[in-house]
Amino acid sequence: MRRFGWRDAWLVLPAVALMAWLDWHGLRSWFHQDDFAWLSLDGRVHSFAGLLDALFRPAAQGTVRVFSERLFFLGLERLFGLDHRPFHLVVLATQWANLVLLCWITLRVTGSRLAAAAAPVFWAAGIGLAVPLAWLSAYNQILCSFCLLAAFACLLRWLETGRRRWLAAQWALLVFGFGVLEIMVVYPALAAAWCWLDRRRVPRQIWWMWGASAVFAAAHMLLIPKQSEGVYARHWDFSMLRTYGQYWSLALGGNLEPEHWPLSWLPRRAVAAITGMAAAAWLALAWRRGERLAVFGLAWFTLALAPVLPLRDHVSDYYLAAPSIGWAWVAATALQAAWSRGLWLKAAAALLLALHLMYAGAAHRATAEWRYERGLEARHLFLALERAAELHPGRLIVVSGIDNELFWGAFYDARPLLQQRICLDPRSAAAIQAPAGFGHTSEAFCAPAGIADAARGRRLAAYRWDPVARRLRAEARLYRHRLPREWLGLPPSRIDTASQADAGWLGEGWYQAEAGGRWTSLRAAVTMAAPDRAGRHLVIQGYRPLEPPSPAVWLTVLVDGVEAGRYALPKDRPDFMVAVPLPAPGGAAAMRVELAVDRPITAPGDRRVLGVMISRLEYR
Partner 1 sequence: MRILAAAVLMLATLGCRQARHPHPELTVEEPSRLKSAIEATNPADEEQLLEGFYDPDPGGWRWTGQQFTVSLGVPEELRGKEARIECELWIPEAGWTDLAKLTMTAQTADRTLGQWRAAKPGAQTAVFAVPAALTEEDAILVDFVLDRSIPPRGEETRRLGVVATKFRLVAAGR
Positions that interact with partner 1 (CB under 8 A): 78-83, 86, 93, 380, 383-384, 386-388, 390-391, 463, 466, 470-478, 480-483, 485
DSSP state of 266: S
Q: Which of 351, 342, 421, 327 is nearest to 619 (CA)?
A: 421
Residue 81 Cβ vs partner 1, minimum distance, rounded to whole Å: 5
- Residue number with CB closer to partner 1 (90 or 306): 90
Q: How far apart are CA 497 and CA 615, in angstroms?
A: 6
CB of 134 to partner 1, least distance (A): 22
- Are 267 and 249 in contact by the 8 Å Cβ rule? The answer is no
Q: In 3-state terms, what secondary structure has residue 267?
A: coil
Closer residue to partner 1, CB minimum distance, 2 or 473:
473
Q: Considering beta carbons, is residue 89 or 347 the nearer one to partner 1?
A: 89
Q: How far is the CB of 407 from partner 1 (least distance, A)?
A: 18
Instruction: Name which of 84 and 620 has its Cβ closer to partner 1.
Output: 84
In the complex, the smallest distance separating the C-beta of residue 481 from partner 1, rounded to whole angstroms, is: 4
> Which residues, including other chains, have CB under 8 Å from residue 518's CB and lie 6 or more apart?
497, 498, 506, 510, 511, 512, 613, 614
Between residues 358 and 383, which has the closer beta carbon with respect to partner 1?
383
Q: From CA 449, how far away is CA 489, in angstroms rounded? A: 9
CB of 605 to partner 1, least distance (A): 47
Closer Cβ to partner 1, 46 or 477, answer by number: 477
Local structure of 147: helix, strand or coil? helix
Name the residue nearer to partner 1 (CB basis): 346 or 473: 473
Angle value at C-alpha 370, between 412 and 180, nearest 5 degrees: 65
Q: Under 8 Å CB-to-CB from 148, ≥6 apart: which residues? A: 177, 184, 187, 190, 304, 322, 325
Distance in Å, CB of 530 to partner 1, minimum? 24
Spatial separation of the C-alpha atoms in residues 381 and 375, rounded to whole Å: 10
Pick the closer one to partner 1 by CB: 387 or 456: 387
Closer residue to partner 1 (CB): 25 or 480: 480
CB of 383 to partner 1, least distance (A): 5
Could you give the CA distance from residue 495 to residue 191 in angstroms, rounded to a whole number? 63
Q: Quick one: 185 or 455, whose CB is closer to partner 1?
A: 455
d(CA 207, CA 192): 8
Nearer to partner 1, 289 or 482 (CB): 482
Q: How many other CB atoms are found less than 10 A from the CB of residue 586?
A: 9
In eight-state DSSP terms, residue 608 is E
* Residue 214 neighbours by CB distance under 10 Å: 12
- Min dist CB 377 to partner 1, Å, is 12
CB of 74 to partner 1, least distance (A): 13
Q: Sign of the CA dihedral 258, 262, 266, 271?
A: negative
Nearer of residues 3 and 477 to partner 1, judged by Cβ: 477
Least gap, CB of 485 to partner 1 (angstroms): 6
Q: Exposed, middle or buried, 545 (CB in 10 Å: 0-12/13-18/19+)? A: exposed
Phi, psi of 441 (to 5 degrees): -115, 15
Q: How far are the Cα atoms of 108, 184, 224, 235 from residue 217, in angstroms, in the given order? A: 32, 10, 11, 17
For 501, which DSSP code? G
- Count of other CB atoms within 10 angstroms of residue 542: 25
Q: How far is the CB of 494 from partner 1 (least distance, A)?
A: 23
Give min distance, CB of 381 to partner 1, in A.
Answer: 9
Amino acid at 40: S
